[in-house]
């Protein structure tokens, strides 16, 4: 009778251990699934940050095309771009102080892509460059923009490239 009770007690302990292991495996599986879900959502938020930077860059009043105080969306004035590039190129601290709160660790370039001729090669302007000192993950976005040359009264097409460092 005593041996039969010991066997039943061993079986009960074995069943309890199996149940505990199943619960632990279930919790580990659930935690992993939650982690993947959170990672997917955070990448979506990173994309929103890149879009916010793009919206801010295209709405910079100091670079936008304007005619009689009417501003055109996604249009950059080439003379303003060149002047801005000269000012910023010489004083990176000014650039980082003033624009860091909105742009953070990012790099913004505008490249003219059409029309490009032999007489007028492809032009490029770096608007902002604040790369972190450590290696960081990058997210890149490109937007088509219009470039207006008020001296010649012509338009051309360009691409605004945004590289965000995370």
* pLDDT, tens digit (0-9, with 9 covering 90-100), for 72-98: 888 999 999 998 888 877 676 777 778
Quick one: pLDDT at residue 162?
93
Low-confidence ranges of the chain (pLDDT < 70): 1, 90, 92
Alpha-carbon distance of 108 to 110, in angstroms, equals 7
Quick one: pLDDT at residue 125?
92
Nearest Cα neighbor of 145 from 159, 126, 133, 131 is: 159
Per domain, the residue ranges of the chain are 3-165
Alpha-carbon distance of 137 to 159, in angstroms, equals 22
In which order are the strands placed within the sheet that holds 106-114? Answer: 64-67, 70-77, 138-149, 154-165, 106-114, 124-129
Quick one: pLDDT at residue 165?
87
Quick one: pLDDT at residue 138?
82
**Residue 108 dihedral angles phi and psi, to the nearest 5°:** -120, 125
């Amino acid at each position: 009778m005593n041996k039969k009770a010991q066997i039943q007690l061993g079986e009960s302990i074995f069943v309890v251990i199996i149940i505990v292991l199943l619960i632990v495996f279930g919790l580990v599986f659930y935690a992993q699934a939650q982690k993947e879900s959170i990672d997917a959502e955070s990448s979506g938020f990173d994309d929103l940050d890149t879009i916010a930077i793009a919206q801010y860059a295209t709405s910079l009043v100091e670079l936008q095309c304007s005619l009689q105080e009417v501003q055109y969306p996604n249009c950059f004035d080439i003379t303003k771009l060149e002047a801005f590039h000269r000012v910023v190129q010489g004083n990176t601290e000014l650039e980082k102080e003033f624009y860091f709160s909105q742009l953070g660790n990012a790099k913004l370039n505008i490249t003219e892509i059409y029309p490009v001729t032999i007489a007028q090669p492809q032009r490029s302007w770096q608007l902002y460059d604040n790369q972190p000192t450590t290696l960081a993950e990058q997210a890149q976005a490109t937007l088509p923009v219009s470039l207006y040359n008020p001296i010649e009264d012509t338009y051309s097409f360009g691409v605004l490239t945004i590289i965000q460092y995370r």
